[in-house]
Amino acid sequence: MIKSELVQKIAEQNPQLYQRDVENIVNAILDEIVSALARGDRVELRGFGAFSVKARGARVGRNPRTGAHVAVEDKVVPFFKTGKEMRERLNRV
């Protein structure tokens, strides 16, 4: 599912809201999650999961085409861990 499909689904479930308002709400939520992660904060949505950032140290990589060694700088990457309720709903038989 892509963002536009999510907006459309929420708008269908809430006919009292305009689609552009739903889109603004979804964008505001996602922007706030990104801002929190950029500050290094953890974002937890109960029953869904938690977003956090992990630091990856610098290392020496390899160019797969030439085999040459390449320096890879340290970086911060997003990380998502599913919540217990989501795992249970996905693994229901």
- Walking along the chain (93 residues) 10 residues at a time, the average pLDDT comes out as 96 95 97 96 95 96 95 96 94 81
Location of structure tokens 């990856």: 56
* Predicted local distance difference test score (pLDDT) of residue 92: 87
Spatial distance between the Cα atoms of 53 and 6, rounded to a whole number of angstroms:
24
Query: Where along the chain do the CATH 4.10.520.10 domains lie?
Result: 48-92
Residue pair 76/56 in contact (Cβ under 8 Å)? The answer is: yes
Q: How far is CA 77 from CA 31, 66, 83, 90, in A?
A: 17, 26, 19, 25
CATH topology (fold) of 48-92: HU Protein; Chain A (4.10.520)
Please state the pTM of the whole predicted model. 0.79
* Predicted local distance difference test score (pLDDT) of residue 93: 63
* Predicted local distance difference test score (pLDDT) of residue 23: 97
